[in-house]
Structure 1
Amino acid sequence: MNELSIVLIRGLVGVFFMLLLARLMGKKHIRDMTIYEYIVGISIGSLSAELTFGTEVRMLNFLLGMLIWAIIPIILSKLEMKSFRLRNLIEGKPTILIKDGRILEKNLKKESLTIDELMIHLRQKDIFHFSDIEMAVMEKNGQVSILKKTELQPLTPKDMGKVVEKEKEPRIVIVDGNLLEKSLYEYGYTKEWLLGEVVKQGAKNFSDVFLAQIDSMGNVYVDLYNETATIAQVKQKLLVAANIKQLQANLINFSLQTENKEAKEMYKKHSKQMDHLLDDMSGYLKE
């Protein structure tokens, strides 16, 4: 038997032995990965390191070994798609950890999962009380899926008997100050309408907008280039308007407090002038 044949046989044995070990280790140790990702990642990584430093072994043997570790899992995954039994044999089945609010201790032991580790999974799902859980399942990739009790699940429009409009994919309509007219028109809106929306949020033109996104309800998210400066300008204009209103209120108070008819009329007159001033400035304050 030549050297390459020996590598092939040893590689095949290694693949299936690693699959067996991964199954025996349980889902807990392959969290966030499939069995294939777990064993292939470790094995190809080790072979790559050995290829770098193991100068006494022929490079062709290393390449054949890496090829085996890449191809066999691919073949097995194709076979799994056609065979439910093979899929369960290699990857296992989801394990129920909590059912009807009760912890299944045998299944915890089967997955080598402690109560502390189970609590970590629950807290990651924002659950701190076992009494909130209807069912908890450990998936094949080591993640734990949680089903809350019915009375603790969020209320939806369907539960309330309301019919809501179907949500469509949000569209980006402005990028780097450039209007994407096709996206805008596909949603049924005009350029003039969008300009009005971005102006409301502090822009003077499309060129001031770094990014704008519109959803199917017509809500527009706008991110400006110089947003800090724009916010400061808006605050300054609001402060001017507030000062004018405060001055007007003071004039009205003075007119009520004084007994001098001429002064009273003067205060009222200037107070009305403040109204005209605010009306004249309204366009400036909205810019």
Structure 2
Amino acid sequence: MTELGTVMIRGVVGILFMLLLARLMGKKHIQNMTFYEYIVGISIGSISAELTFGTEVRMSNFLLGMLIWAIIPVIISKIELKSFRFRVLTEGHPTILIKNGKILEKNLKKENLTVDELMINLRQKDVFKLSDVETAIMEKSGQVSVMKKSELQPLTPKDIGEVVEQEREPRLVIIDGNIMERSLHEYGYTKEWLLGEITKQGAKNFSDVFAAQIDSMGNVYVDLYNDTLKMPQIKQKLLVAANIKQLQANLVNFSLQTENKNAKEMYNGYAKQMDKLLDDMSGYLKE
């Protein structure tokens, strides 16, 4: 066999073996890898590259070296799962960089982190002001987690006493005109119901739809092959009226669920406004 053929075969074997080892070592994202795991990955890649051109060394030696570099980290990770002390020994502890809004200079020096580098990590978390930060922690992977001060955190339904339904994973129910019947049935809907939903958005049949996705509230997103198709105007009007009616019902429901007097009055007030809006629009919706 020619030298070129030998290099080609060894290169293909090295790549395939490296992919096999990658599956063996797990799916941890590179951003969550420790420095040790990063070094292991670089070393296996280097051995694989050397396998391609180091034709003077037997292929089995390179493969054994790659296997050793892959197996030992797997064994270490299994021990870490069972022993907290061993995990601390190999991975260390997270380091608090900012506590109660104050920068801990000693911890910055411990991690060889400058203020400029700290600001870069904060900006990557959409934080541009040090005064906005309550706590910042450098994780064992080297990533920085940030908690803003409570007055700067976004308002949640729980904060205003609102009860919301638990959201489930959205599911694709149509792909390339084909119905994903399993996903549709798991959400408790039929093909007839789905056909009615896509016709509201301009499709005549399932074959007109490139993709359709349903969420846990029963809302359907539809993308048609022909994006120039539009809903008939009368159906658009009926859909608008149905959405307003649904919004009104949700507001009434929220008012019954909350114990907050101000919130209850607000929900009832907006529900009455929706009712008046429907009355005002009723004549135009029938045109």
TM-score, normalisation: structure 2: 0.65
Return the offset for 1:211: 1.0
Partners of 1:279 and 1:170 lie apart in 2 by 31
Instruction: Establish whether residue 230 from structure 1 lines up as the match of residue 229 from structure 2.
Output: yes
Superposed CA offset, 1:218-240 (max 9, x none): 1110011011x225x979xx9xx
Change (3 A) 1:89 1:204: same
Q: In structure 2, what is the equivalent of residue 191 of structure 1?
A: 191
Return the offset for 1:158: 1.2
Q: In structure 1, what is the equivalent of residue 77 of structure 2?
A: 77
Change (3 A) 1:189 1:115: same
Secondary structure, aligned partner of 1:211: strand
Partners of 2:58 and 2:105 lie apart in 1 by 51
Partners of 1:156 and 1:206 lie apart in 2 by 38
* % identical aligned pairs: 75
Superposed, 1:137-286 pairs within 5 Å as 137-227=137-227, 229-230=228-229
Superposed, 1:9-28 pairs within 5 Å as none
Q: In structure 2, what is the equivalent of residue 260 of structure 1?
A: none
One-letter code aligned to 1:156: T
Return the offset for 1:188: 2.9
Unpaired runs of 5+ residues, structure 2, are 1-29, 237-283
Secondary structure, aligned partner of 2:195: helix
One-letter code aligned to 2:94: P
One-letter code aligned to 1:230: L
Range 68-77 or range 98-107, more displaced: 68-77
Partners of 1:39 and 1:73 lie apart in 2 by 11
One-letter code aligned to 2:210: F
Range 140-149 or range 79-88, more displaced: 79-88
Partners of 2:102 and 2:172 lie apart in 1 by 47
Superposed, 1:87-166 pairs within 5 Å as 87-166=87-166
Return the offset for 1:191: 3.1
Q: In structure 2, what is the equivalent of residue 263 of structure 1?
A: none
Partners of 1:121 and 1:91 lie apart in 2 by 21
Q: In structure 1, what is the equivalent of residue 47 of structure 2?
A: 47
One-letter code aligned to 2:212: A
Secondary structure, aligned partner of 2:97: strand
Superposed CA offset, 1:69-122 (max 9, x none): 111111111111122121111111111111101111111111111111111111
One-letter code aligned to 1:199: T
One-letter code aligned to 2:106: K
Indicate the RMSD between aligned Cα atoms, in angstroms.
Answer: 2.7
Partners of 2:214 and 2:285 lie apart in 1 by 33
Return the offset for 1:200: 2.1
Asked if 2 retains the 8 angstrom alpha-carbon contact of 1:174 and 1:213, the reply is yes
Asked if 2 retains the 8 angstrom alpha-carbon contact of 1:97 and 1:108, the reply is yes
The runs of at least 4 aligned residues of structure 1 exceeding 4 Å deviation read none
Asked if 2 retains the 8 angstrom alpha-carbon contact of 1:36 and 1:73, the reply is no
Instruction: Establish whether residue 62 from structure 1 lines up as the match of residue 62 from structure 2.
Output: yes
Return the offset for 1:35: 3.4
Partners of 1:51 and 1:279 lie apart in 2 by 73
One-letter code aligned to 1:165: E
Change (3 A) 1:209 1:56: closer
Partners of 1:279 and 1:126 lie apart in 2 by 44
TM-score, normalisation: structure 1: 0.65
One-letter code aligned to 1:193: W
Return the offset for 1:58: 4.0
Superposed CA offset, 1:143-196 (max 9, x none): 111111111111111111111111122222222212334433432333333223
Partners of 2:105 and 2:144 lie apart in 1 by 15
May I ask how many residue pairs the two structures share in their alignment?
209
Secondary structure, aligned partner of 1:159: helix
Unpaired runs of 5+ residues, structure 1, are 1-29, 239-277, 283-287
Partners of 1:279 and 1:117 lie apart in 2 by 59
Partners of 1:46 and 1:188 lie apart in 2 by 52
One-letter code aligned to 1:123: R
